[in-house]
Amino acid sequence: MNKKTFFRHKMLTSISLITLLTYGCGSENSSAPQPKAIPVSTTVLNSSTLIDSTEFVGSLEAVERVNLAPKINGRIMNIFVEEGAIVNRGQLIAELEPEQQQEDVNAATANIQAQVAAYNQSLADLRQTEAQRDSSSSDVARLKASVSSAQANLKTAEANLESAIADLDLAQVNYERSVFLVEQGVLPKQDLDDKTRDLNSIKANVEAQRKTVDAFRSNVASAQEALKSAQSNFAAAQERVESAKANVARSQANIEQAQSNRGSIEQNLAFTRLIAPIDGIVGDFAEFKVGDFLNVGQTLTTITNNRRFHLNLNIPTENLDNLRLGLPVEIIKADGSVGVKGAVTYIAPLVNQDNQSINIKITFENDGTLKDQQYVRTRLIWDTKPGILVPTNVVTSLGGQKFVFVAREGKSNDDKTTMMAHQVPIQVQGIQGQDYQVTSGIQQGDRIITNRILDLRDKTPISLQEVTSQVN
């Protein structure tokens, strides 16, 4: 047998063996029993809420948090609360030594008393000058009456003088006529003597009347001079009254200024008492203790009210169209569950040019689990819609495609109806908690297999051990 014939024989022998093995295996498969059903648990899918959200992290800031610091320099005399104590607004926290401030208050009080005494003296001076003015006013009134009386007397005297002069003129005419008639022998010399006596008597009367007029003119002049002096005195008295009133007003202003100064100084005394401006929890006194000296503005401790918190976040500008006040926000706990819920309460009007983001502020009402400056993970919820959620542990992946096994009836090899695991491709859009958000492939009412996933293949016979309904 040559070498070529040997190899041909060997090949034919191999082909025959393969054919026999193939026939034997085929015969064995055709007669093999149906695979045993795998016991599995299933969950009936219900409609769920799909949440479109983005996670952010940040630190909480208490809405009410103050650094308790003095407004004056001083040495700590007393601390009235313990670290961590819950205090109310207006409660006394600490006290500085008030010695210098008390001395300033005492000095200010003494100054007020001095200003009050000065005011009382100026008021007494005013009353005295008013009395002098009133007396001068009375003198003016009296002298005006005297001038009027003197002027009336003068007028009477002047009238009497005019009458006497008229009588004198008549007596002079009668005398001259008597002289002529006596010289002519018409009348006796006795008539001339009578006329001469009458003329001399009237002349004496005229002279007396002239002296009376001069006397009354002098009286009028004296009365007018006295009136002028009295009026000058009244004007001076009135000026003294106005000056006294100004002194009273100045004294009153000085009192008010002194009282205001004392108020400011008393405020400094009040500043020695450090009062809680808000309700909250007292921080530590790590840096200062009783006896230490505090300067203006140095923080003694903090008071924090953990009732409400703000969280400041910078949101990329691509989310600008979705931003709005009131957007819900959830704090995610360490175990992935939802914690305290809040909402967006502020959106900045300007974009940060450095990182093209928008600052927003989220407000949370504390349920007792949050602390100031706590680092938290949050979920900002943009939108919600109905859909299907599937636990991530029941989803498998193959070549980038995700699948779930759905329990459905099917035909076995012996053409019998049996329950099978059908491998169904699904489309997902994200993870929500511990679940995938499913957009297509399965629907409400489908029974999803939740265990023995690695033991299953498409159309693997199964038996249902436990059927539950999905809880959302």
pLDDT at 34: 64
Predicted pLDDT at 24 = 41
Q: What CA–CA distance (Å, rounded) separates 169 from 199?
A: 9
Residue 421 has pLDDT above 90, yes or no: yes
Structural Rg of the chain based on CA atoms: 63
> Starting from the edge strand earliest in sequence, which strands make up the sheet with 74-79, in order?
273-275, 92-96, 74-79, 293-294
Average pLDDT over residues 174-200: 89
Q: Which residues touch 390 (CB under 8 Å, ≥6 apart)?
A: 45, 404, 426, 435, 436, 438, 442, 448
Q: Across-strand partners of 357?
A: 316, 352
Q: What percent of the chain has pLDDT over 70?
A: 91
pLDDT band at 210 (very low <50, low <70, confident <90, very high): very high
Beta-bridged to residue 76, according to DSSP, are: 96
Q: What is the DSSP letter of 200?
A: H
Contact 376, 417 (CB under 8 A): no
pLDDT in tens, 378-394: 999 999 889 899 999 99
The pLDDT value recorded for residue 20 is 35
* Mean of pLDDT values over 96-108: 77
Distance CA 45, CA 446 (A): 6
3 three-state secondary structure: helix
Residues 6+ apart with CB under 8 A from 290: 76, 77, 78, 79
Structural domains of the chain, ranges and CATH numbers in brackets? 34-50+386-469 (2.40.420.20), 70-93+274-298 (no CATH), 101-270 (1.10.287.2610)
In whole numbers, what is the pLDDT of the chain averaged over residues?
Answer: 87
Q: What tokens were used for 180? A: 């002529």
Buried b (16+ CB within 10 A) or exposed e, 275-290: ebebebbbbebeebee
Q: How far apart are CA 36 and CA 165, in angstroms?
A: 174
Q: What angle do CA 107, 111, 113 make, to 5 degrees?
A: 115
**What's the average model confidence in pLDDT over 223-228?**
92
Q: Give the integer Cα–Cα distance in Å for 87 and 79.
A: 13
Can you tell me the distance from the alpha carbon of 472 to that of 469, in angstroms, rounded to the nearest whole number?
Answer: 10
Stretch 69-73: mean pLDDT: 89
Cα dihedral 253, 259, 265, 266, rounded to 10, equals: -160
Please write the tens of the pLDDT for every residue from 28-50. 444 456 678 899 999 999 988 88
What is the Cα–Cα distance from 109 to 114, expressed in whole angstroms?
Answer: 9
- pLDDT reported for residue 6: 37
Amino acid 472: pLDDT: 57
- pLDDT class of 14 with cuts at 50, 70, 90: very low
Q: Does position 155 have pLDDT exceeding 70, yes or no?
A: yes
Does residue 316 have a pLDDT over 60?
yes
DSSP, res 453: G
Distances (CA, A) of 327 to 363, 376, 387: 11, 18, 21
Mean pLDDT throughout 154-161? Answer: 92
Across 25-29, 200-204, 257-261, least confident range: 25-29
Residue type (1 letter), 370: L
Instruction: Please write the tens of the pLDDT for every residue from 342-380.
Output: 999 999 999 999 899 999 999 999 999 999 999 999 999
Gap between the Cα atoms of 210 and 218, Å rounded: 12
CA-CA-CA-CA dihedral for 105, 111, 114, 118, to nearest 10: -140
| Cβ neighbours for 339, distance < 8 A, ≥ 6 positions apart | 330, 331, 332, 333, 367, 369
